Amino acid sequence: MSAASKHHGANTSRSTESDMDETITIIVIAVAKACALLVWWSVLFPMISIPILASVWVGFRDGPVFGVLLAAVSGLALVAWSQLWPASFQQWVTARIRSRWRTWSIYRHRWTAICSLHGLTAKLDDQTLVPALRSVTIGSTTDVVEVGILTGQSVADWQNRSAALAETFRARRVTVRSLRPGVITITVHQGDALITPIRLPRPATDTNVDQSSVPVGVTEAGTWWRLPVLGQHILVAGATGSGKGSVLWSIISGLAPGVRAGSVRLLVVDPKGGMEFGRGQKLFTGFAPRQRREHPRLAAGSHDGDAKARPAAARSDPASYPHHRRTVDRADRR
């Protein structure tokens, strides 16, 4: 055999060994990442990981039959939890798994490709710059993505691509707003939380009313809409049948425990002759089934409620002085 053929055989052998080393390195890294991911998910979802780990441990210690038996009992316990307390199961299991899965599969895993395909990356020398995905918040009907935009980009650049982004995220629509200079929020609307009316929770009689945050409904993100009424003037506008009266009744419902405790007094004007608010007269300190510049029944109920004459301590401590709330159902333009 010639020296050239021996040299060629040695190079081939070294190349094969190098390929095997590279393959082994890739496998080891992949296994390490998988183990780290399993550990991380075990920490995130202990209600699932603990029964699995306990079943494996019992199987090794006492035999596979006992391990399978413990796994079956744990599975039945999870099923019972989901059926008997669905809200709790949704909060601690289903919603958390859905949130993690959507965050990775829809946003983080594809973020670079999404930005590239929508022309939202930039080139600097030989480097491709990608906007920073700062955070992802998964909601029941909307997802909120916080993004650090690149130098040279504006909110308008992202707003012009909102229709294309909605198609990419398989969403009903996408809205883009500026959070602060250099940071935007992308709200991905997957559903409509306002399509179905909800029942307000009935407040307990001993509930402490926070007049700076009265729950009156839900927002399009599926979270509670809390309205500050302390020291505020509130105008509810809308077409006939749009739900103005529902908003007013929601405010009254939220303030009802304060009415019972004596910290809130309601003065109500109903130009419809009492059709809208007549059934709630027992809650109201003053009620007028018609609208005048100064109704005597309202004046009698509010002579001591002038905000300018009220002590400063009362404005800082809502419980220290009765607060008056005037509610007008409709102000017709003549």
In CATH, the number for domain 111-189 is 3.30.980.40
- Residue 314: per-residue pLDDT: 42
Cβ 129 vs Cβ 150: under 8 Å: yes
Q: Which residue has the higher pLDDT, 299 or 247?
A: 247
Which of the four pLDDT bands, split at 50, 70 and 90, describes residue 292?
low
pLDDT tens-digit readout, 33-62: 888 877 777 777 787 888 888 888 888 888
Domain boundaries, the chain: 3-86, 111-189, 214-328
Q: How far apart are CA 277 and CA 158, in angstroms?
A: 46
With CA atoms as reference, report the closest residue to 277 among 302, 253, 310, 305. 253
**226 SS3 class:** strand
Strands of the sheet containing 183-189, edge to edge, are 132-138, 142-148, 183-189, 173-180
Cβ 246 vs Cβ 200: under 8 Å: no
Which of the four pLDDT bands, split at 50, 70 and 90, describes residue 9?
low
Q: In this structure, is the dihedral angle defined by the CA atoms of residues 64, 67, 73 and 76, taken in order, positive or negative?
A: negative
Which of the four pLDDT bands, split at 50, 70 and 90, describes residue 160?
very high
